[in-house]
């Protein structure tokens, strides 16, 4: 699960362990996609300079070393178009939570569905994870499409679960168990 090698998803899509040298490329994407990402995620408003992205990458490396999560770049035809990873790993209960984003221009091609499908293979290769979770804002239907295409079960609504852009928001929670059938 904690592979340090790049993971090939298709001939065009590769998942890569984040490196400090990726900071400039990722920072430029976040700047250019600020409104697209800030609509659903918190980090763009805290990403003001390239050092903020560098710090995120360094923290991600530490998180990985501690075994509590990790982030991977998604490269499409060699260029980074988004990130996917495990926001947290609860090893006691064998649960990991998936998170992701794509730049606007890369949407609509199945890049995230294919990347998450591959991530699931990699994570379930490790017997220490039994349950994958994913949460998304009830209005973020594009995000919901990813777990729905991959056989996750929508388990329910988490009311007032996160304050986003100053407003308490409801979220749907999805899960996939190691024993669940996958499409």
Ligand X SMILES: CC(C)(COP(=O)(O)OP(=O)(O)OC[C@H]1O[C@@H](n2cnc3c(N)ncnc32)[C@H](O)[C@@H]1OP(=O)(O)O)[C@@H](O)C(=O)NCCC(=O)NCCS
- Residues within window 74-133 making contact with ligand X, judged by CB under 6 A: 100-102, 107-113
Among 50, 55, 145, 161, binds ligand X (CB under 6 A): 145
Minimum CB distance to ligand X, residue 135 (Å): 7
d(CA 70, CA 99): 10
Neighbours of 99 (CB within 10 A): 17
- How far is 52 from 149, CA to CA, in rounded Å? 33
48's tokens: 């003001």
Q: Which residue is nearest to ligand X (CB)?
A: 110
Within 10 angstroms of residue 27's Cβ, the number of other Cβ atoms is 20
First-to-last alpha carbon distance for the chain, in angstroms, is 21
Which residue's CB is nearer to ligand X, number 116 or number 129? 116
Site for ligand X in 4-43 (CB under 6 A): 36-37, 40-41
Footprint (CB under 6 A) of ligand X, residues 40-79: 40-41
Number of residues forming the site for ligand X (CB under 6 A): 21
């Amino acid at each position: 699960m904690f592979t340090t090698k790049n993971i090939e998803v298709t001939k065009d899509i590769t998942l890569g362990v984040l490196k400090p040298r990726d900071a400039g490329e990722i920072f430029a994407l976040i700047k250019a996609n600020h409104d697209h990402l800030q609509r659903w995620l918190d980090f763009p408003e805290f990403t003001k300079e390239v050092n903020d992205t560098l710090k995120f990458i360094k923290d991600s490396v530490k998180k990985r070393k501690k075994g509590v999560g990790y982030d991977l770049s998604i490269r499409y035809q060699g260029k980074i178009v988004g990130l996917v990873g495990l926001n947290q790993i609860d090893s006691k209960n064998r649960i990991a939570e998936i998170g992701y984003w794509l730049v606007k221009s890369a949407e609509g091609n199945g890049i995230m569905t294919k990347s998450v499908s591959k991530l699931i293979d990699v994570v379930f290769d490790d017997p220490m994870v039994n349950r994958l979770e994913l949460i998304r804002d009830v209005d973020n239907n594009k995000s919901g499409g990813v777990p729905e295409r991959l056989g996750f079960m929508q388990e329910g609504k988490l009311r007032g679960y996160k304050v986003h852009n100053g407003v308490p928001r409801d979220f749907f929670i999805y899960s996939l168990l190691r024993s669940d059938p996958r499409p």
